[in-house]
Every structure is written in C-alpha cells, then in structure tokens.
Structure 1
Amino acid sequence: MSVWDTLVGQDRVVEQLRAASCGDPKMLAQSWLICGPPGSGRSNMARAFAAALESPDHGLNDEPTKAVREVLAGTHPDVTTLATDKVTIGIDEVRDLVTTAEQMPRSGPWRIIIIEDVDRMLERTTNVLLKEIEEPSPHTIWLLCAPSAQDVLPTIRSRTRIVNLGVPSDAQVAQYLEQRHDVGHNLAMRAARLAEGHIGVATLYATDSQVLADRDELVVGVLGLRRTSQAILLAGSLLDSAKAQAAADVAKRGDKARAEFLRLNGLQEGDRVPPSLRPAYNALTKADDVKRQTTRRTRDVLDRALNSVASIYRDVAVLQNDAEESVGLVNVENRRAIADLSARLRRERTIRCLDEINVARRRLFGNGNALLVFEALFCALAEA
C-alpha cells in the first residue's frame, strides 16, 4: 500500500501532490497551505506529502521505506510537526520552528515543517513566520494546515501554494472503515452518515460503541426537549459524558506514548526506567499537561456534540423544504421525531435554532463556561 492509499476521497489533491513530490526539486514550491473542513484529512495529507518528499521512492511502492515509516510515525529526524492542545499557538513555539527550519536536513533531502491548525495563530505570532514562508531556506519546506484559506491571514495566503481538500462521500468513508478497521458494512455506512464526512469522527463511531451510544442519547434528549428543567439536566449529562470521554482518550494516548517511549529505548513494560531517561518518561504524564489535554479534548467532544445537535435541525430543514430525496437525512433512525418537530416549527424558527447553535459554538471556543453555554442553548431549543 503506497503512502497515498490511506487518504480518503481526495484523488485530485493526491495526484497534484504526488506529481509535485516526483517532479524536479528545483520547481517545487517550498511553502504550502493545505485547506479542508474538519475531518477531511488535511493533517494526514501533509504527513503523506512529507513522507513522499523524504522517501527515495516518493512513497509509491507498496512496501513502505524506512523514511515513510518514520515520517508517518512522527520519528523522522528531518520532519517536525507542531500540533497544539491549546486555544492558540504560542509565539515561542513558532520561533523554535524557525530555528529548526534553518538547519540542514540530517538524512533526507528536505527539512520539512508541518504546522497543524495554523489558523490558531495570533497575528503577532504569524508575523514571525512571514519571512521564512516567503523565502525559506534552500532545503526547507513548510506545510501549513487550516480549515480554509480565509481562516489564515492574507499575508500567509499570498506566500503559499494553496490546495483545497473536499468532503469525502459517505460511501468512500464507509469503504475506508471496512478496509482499514474491519468494520461491518452496515455499521460503517451508519458511522459515515452520522459523521457527515468527518473521517476521524466516523472512525470513532465505528470503533467505540459507547461514543455512538452517547450520540444517540444526545439526539433523543434534544428531540424530547420541552421544559427548562429538561434542558438543565441534558446539559449536565452532556458535560459529564464529555469529561469522561476526554479523560479516557487522554489516558489511552498517554499509555500509547509511554509504550512507544519504552519501545524506542529498548525497554519492556515493567522494566525499570534508567535514571537518565526518567525525566523524559515522567514528562509524558505531567499533571499540568494531562489537565490541559483533557480540557482540550473535552472541548473537542462538546464541539462534536454541537455538530450532532446541528444535524437535527439540518434534517428538520430538509423535511420542511421537501428535500429528503435529493440530500437525505443524517439522523435516519430518528426520522419520526424529526418529522414531528418539523411540523411544529416554523421555518424561521428552524433557522433561529441553527443560529443558537452557532452562538453556542462561538461562546464555547471563546472559553465560555461549558455548562452555562449548553444550558443556554438547550433552554433556547426547548423554548422553540
């Protein structure tokens, strides 16, 4: 399987980047902006491109080279990735990247810097990047990722080559789940439909029955909202569920990181960690880092919940506009309750409910109190 085969529904961009990686290095753009909606795989696309650029076979052979394996595992010495669990990317982190970018590659042809979520940079942080993006070091390539070009400052847009990813179809996502995660066809199709093109969320729904059950419970709870008391209880239940999901996910990632650390240092589970390695090993479980990661993951779970709530009113609008045959419903299992709601709501109220969800999203990502944000949202939906 080539490095490009793991990417779902992005044939046009894959062909463009494959050709770029195989072409004349002197003609290769050194600053790229990879754009795509959440779940489209923009970070995976950046890593695949980096692997193709570093590998002697450009990632085309079925048997991955050492360079490809290292890039995809995040251990290649010439590929540096900045991914943040904070609301914004810090200026000191970017300054460190600039210093790294000026170094010659150790083993591959390129020094590659990947920045996920470059849209999380404040303007003064972005200014640190400008000169490097405009005139990179001769052996350096910058791969920036963002939801859209409009989410990035014009000064960055104008200095990069932009590629835009699309939203993969349900059938493409389902096929990916069946082939890569050995998921049954019916579950794969349902997970793909509920995820609305988000590959990561679809994978989560298909492989974690509790997460899927929590989504089902949320949808039923929203459709059953009639009173303020129900709204308050549903908000509390959602927040408890989000915190539990986040804590479990952070713990799982921590276990994986520790296991990888032991493997790379030739140790087995249960072996005594040598004193020289203990500071680095203990850093993997620092309380402050775990707390920050849990807070970030909780926000991600709640954002996914907002998408689920929005899908309900999207389906209501579809029924109100007699568009079910052309675009289908997301929440097919709840069609009867959605049809009842579409009959009770006027179209303008449906739009108002979608607006309330967008307001909740802005408040949540503006560091608003999550419980109050969802209490206000669910109360507004109950009143509708």
Structure 2
Amino acid sequence: MSVWDAIVGQKPVVDMLRGLAEGDPSALAQSWLVCGPPGSGRSNVARAFAAALECPRHGCGECPTCRHILAGTYPDVTVLATDRVTIGIDQVRELIATSEQMPASGPWRVIVIEDVDRMLERTTNVLLKEIEEPAERTIWLLCAPSAQDVLPTIRSRCRIVNLAVPSAGAVAAFLTASCGADPKVARRAARLAEGHIGVARLYATDERVMTDRDELVTGVLGLARASDAVLLADRLIANANGQAAAEVERRVASEEADFRRINGLGEKDRIPPSLRGAFNAIGKKDEIRRRTTRRSRDVLDRALNSVASVYRDVAVLQNGAEDAVGLVNLENRTAVTELSVRLDRQGAIRRMEAVAEARCRLFGNGNPALVFEALFCALIP
C-alpha cells in the first residue's frame, strides 16, 4: 500500500508529487507551500511527500522508513503541529537549527510546518531566510488554508501546491475502506462534512458527534424566540466541552501508553523516578485544561460550519440550484424548504454573514456563550 493511497480526491497533485519524488533530485524545489481548505488533507499530503522523498522506493508505504515517517518517529522528518493559537518564535528557531543539520539516515532532512498561517509576522521573518536559502539537503513543506493566508515574502519563495475539496463520493469511499464504515453511514458523513475528511471520519465513527450535529441543526431550524437562542447556545457549549474533554482524555491515555511502550514499561508497571517528571507532564492539569479549551473551540468552529450549511441550503433552494449542487441537510429538507420561503434572499445572506462574524468573535477570544447567544438571536426569522 503506497503512502499516496490515503490521500483522498487529489489525484492531479499526487501524480505530480510522485513524479517529482521519483525524478532528478537536483531539479527539486526545496521550499513548498501546500494549500487547501480545512479537511482537504494538506498535512497528510506533506507527510506522504516527505515519505516519498526519503523512501528508497519513493513512498512504498511498507518499508521501515515509510512506517516511521507516517508514525512521526523518523529522525530526518520533523513535523511542527500546534494546538495553540499561534506558533511561537522559539519553536521556529528550534526548527531552523534542526534544518541546518545534515540528514542522519535518508537523502533529505524534511521540515513540515502545519498551519503556518498561525505565525505572527515577527515569527515569519525569522523563518524567511531559511525558506529563501535552505540548507543543501533540507526540504521545507509549509501548510496553510490558502496562499493568501501566508505573508507574500514567504509565499513568493515557495512552490505552491493547491489542493481541491474532495468530492463526497471520494470521501465516502475512503471512510468505507479505512474505517470499515457502513456505506450508507459513510455517504451521509461525507455529505455533512462538506469535503472535510477529518470531520467526515468523526461523523462516521462517533455517534455522539453525529447526534450533537443533528440536534444543533434541528435547534437552528426551530428558533422562534430569544429564549430558544439562549437554551440552544447553552446546549451547544455543554456538548462542545463534553466532546473536547473526551477527546483530550483519549489522547492523554494514548500518549501515556506510548510513553510506557517506548520506555519498555508494562501497563501497570511503576514509573521509575528518573522518568516520572516526563510522564507526569503528559497529564499535567494546566496542559489538559489548555488542550481542552483549544479542542472546544475546534468543536464550536465545526458547529458554525453546520449552522452555515443550513443557510447555504436555503440559498440553494431559493436559487433553484438543488439539482446542480444538492443539499447538505437532506434529513431536514422539509424544515429547510419552509425556512427558504419565510426568508428572502437578503435574509439568507445576512444570516451567513452573522455566522462569519461569530467565527471572527470566537477566534478573537470572545466569550463562547455570548458569541452563540448573539448569533442564534440574529438567526431568528
């Protein structure tokens, strides 16, 4: 199984990158910017390309090199992923120091930065010289939603790869093959995720997440008074906090299990004093609280996409475009149709703008309860 087999709906990009990895190394660009909307798989594309560059068989997916790269344990491939709001300047300086070292095992030292758009300008300026003049055996793979989200000084020095939004059919097929999802569930999950592979997987494998989304859409379509808005916001925040806490708990348990395995410890073995500090840091309360807050914001951002999909469907019906683009919320077609009659076209547009404004407030550290109470009040017909 090739490393490219897990890339969904990006055949032209895969063909291009595979050809480059198999071609003349001297003709290979050393600074790349992989762009695609959330969920399109840009970080997965970057990792697969890294594996194809390092693997003796150019991304076979079966050799130790490929397995270690995809697992994040290969010494010559460094991935910076953050669950913070911004990427810190010290993290980037550390990466630069790493990038200037010769590769230890493979032909290249590959540095992957996920969400490079989260860098502040002064942090980006630290990175600029390395992107412009990489070390001889170093490849930089930067990932961002779009080239416009990255400072011109960075994007002008990179080769840009633009990813498409994967089709619902491609995502559904991937879910069936990779997760063993029932084809009917996979098709629904793919449709509701609107091309976001990670969200589609979540819908297909976590019944609670799917149920919470169904309740949110039903609640939005049933808004009639301010009290409805306040109650719906309260339920949404509680669900988001619950989902986030459960996800962080699973991740901490997985990281603790990995720590034990790497250090040759059994599930119930005592942690030696020399390792206790590192082990305890995994489940540190402040760190768990910070990660839970971040995950909660991610859940709320996903909720905003679900709310926006309602008014997207309203606009589709108002413009007679259902046959061309279909509806996202097919299960709620009757209620969406009624809403499309009650609202005029400007009303639908205003509500989509209200969702965009709520997203800006949320990621500007606005109080989530107040942000969603105001949003749901603005959505009342």
TM-score of the two chains, using structure 1 as the length reference? 0.98
Partners in 2 of 1:363 and 1:8 — Cα distance? 32
Give 1:4's aligned residue.
4
1:39 partnered with 2:39: yes
For 1:262, give the aligned amino acid: R
Contiguous gaps of at least 5 residues in structure 1: none
Give 1:174's aligned residue.
172
Give 2:91's aligned residue.
93
- Post-superposition shift, 1:377? 0.1
Which residue among 84, 92, 96 is the counterpart of 2:82? 84
- 1:324-339 superposed matches below 5 A: 324-339=322-337
Partners in 2 of 1:267 and 1:246 — Cα distance? 29
Per-residue CA deviation, residues 218-256 of structure 1 (Å, 9 max, x unaligned), is 000000000000000100110000000000000111111
- Post-superposition shift, 1:276? 2.0
For 1:211, give the aligned amino acid: V
Q: What is the number of equivalent residue pairs in this alignment?
A: 381
Partners in 2 of 1:288 and 1:21 — Cα distance? 42
- Post-superposition shift, 1:288? 1.7
- Post-superposition shift, 1:277? 1.9
- Post-superposition shift, 1:259? 1.0
- 1:230-249 superposed matches below 5 A: 230-249=228-247
CA RMSD of superposed structures (Å): 0.8
Give 2:191's aligned residue.
193
Give 2:212's aligned residue.
214
Of the structure 1 ranges 372-381 and 14-23, higher mean CA displacement relative to structure 2 is found in 14-23
- 1:156-167 superposed matches below 5 A: 156-167=154-165
Give 2:361's aligned residue.
363
- 1:264-275 superposed matches below 5 A: 264-275=262-273
- Post-superposition shift, 1:273? 1.8
SS at the partner of 1:277?
A: helix
Per-residue CA deviation, residues 340-384 of structure 1 (Å, 9 max, x unaligned), is 1000001101100000000000001111111100000000001x3
Partners in 2 of 1:74 and 1:182 — Cα distance? 24
Contiguous gaps of at least 5 residues in structure 2: none
TM-score of the two chains, using structure 2 as the length reference? 0.99
Give 1:225's aligned residue.
223
1:128 partnered with 2:126: yes
- Post-superposition shift, 1:316? 0.4
Q: What percent of counterpart residues are identical?
A: 67
- Post-superposition shift, 1:279? 1.8
Partners in 2 of 1:258 and 1:30 — Cα distance? 36
For 1:101, give the aligned amino acid: S
Partners in 2 of 1:47 and 1:340 — Cα distance? 46
Partners in 2 of 1:72 and 1:263 — Cα distance? 18
For 1:168, give the aligned amino acid: P
SS at the partner of 1:112?
A: strand
SS at the partner of 1:276?
A: helix
- Post-superposition shift, 1:269? 0.7
- Post-superposition shift, 1:280? 1.6
Partners in 2 of 1:24 and 1:258 — Cα distance? 42
For 1:169, give the aligned amino acid: S
For 2:311, give the aligned amino acid: Y
Per-residue CA deviation, residues 116-150 of structure 1 (Å, 9 max, x unaligned), is 00001111110000100000000111000000001
Partners in 1 of 2:274 and 2:30 — Cα distance? 38
- Post-superposition shift, 1:179? 0.5
- 1:309-348 superposed matches below 5 A: 309-348=307-346
Which residue among 68, 71, 74 is the counterpart of 2:72? 74
For 1:267, give the aligned amino acid: L
Partners in 2 of 1:275 and 1:25 — Cα distance? 47
